[in-house]
């Protein structure tokens, strides 16, 4: 994963860890997508999205919408999606189910992908902006390892 060796989550707050993980994965996923490493890129971008959604919940008044054990709730994608839908952060402008299906298709190499860079990144950039992740200064992140996948 793009964050391995670049952050120590055990020494960070949950909020800071989710934010850093999201930024590192988003940067790496974009690079992988430009390099036509589509399956890896989409899996990495999906992880960036999940981390950004968790971070958004942890740093806003949405945290009070977690009604079960916080750690379990934030690790459950469906609970995270549900909280963000109820808060109208996920409002249909970004189709999370379509993105998940795109990731699954890429990972299974079923029939290839017809989606291009812009078709993937435009809606993803929109939801990441809405979540508060974008824009961010990549210069503030640790440099990527030259041999990073």
Most confident of 1-5, 55-59, 118-122: 55-59
pLDDT tens, position by position, 96-149: 888 888 888 888 875 556 677 788 889 999 999 999 999 999 889 888 865 665
pLDDT tens, position by position, 31-46: 998 888 888 999 999 9
Is the link from the previous residue into 135 a cis peptide, with omega within 30 of 0? yes
Residue 137: phi, psi to the nearest 5? -90, 110
Q: What's the pLDDT score for residue 127?
A: 93
Residue 2 clears pLDDT 60, i.e. is over it: no
User: What is the DSSP annotation of 102-133?
Assistant: HHHHHHHT-S-----HHHHHHHHHHHHHHHT-
């Amino acid at each position: 994963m793009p964050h391995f060796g670049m952050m120590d989550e055990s020494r960070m707050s949950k909020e800071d860890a989710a934010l850093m993980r999201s930024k590192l994965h988003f940067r790496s996923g974009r690079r992988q997508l430009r390099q036509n490493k589509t399956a890896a890129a989409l899996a990495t971008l999906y992880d960036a999205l999940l981390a950004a959604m968790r971070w958004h919940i942890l740093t806003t008044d949405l945290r009070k919408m977690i009604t079960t054990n916080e750690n379990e709730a934030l690790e459950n994608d469906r609970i995270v999606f549900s909280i963000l839908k109820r808060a109208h952060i996920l409002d249909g402008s970004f189709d999370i189910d379509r993105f998940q299906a795109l990731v699954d298709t890429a990972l299974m190499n079923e029939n290839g992908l017809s989606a291009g860079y812009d078709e993937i990144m435009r809606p993803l950039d929109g939801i990441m902006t809405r979540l508060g992740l974008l824009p961010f200064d990549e210069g503030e992140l640790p440099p990527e390892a030259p041999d990073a996948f």
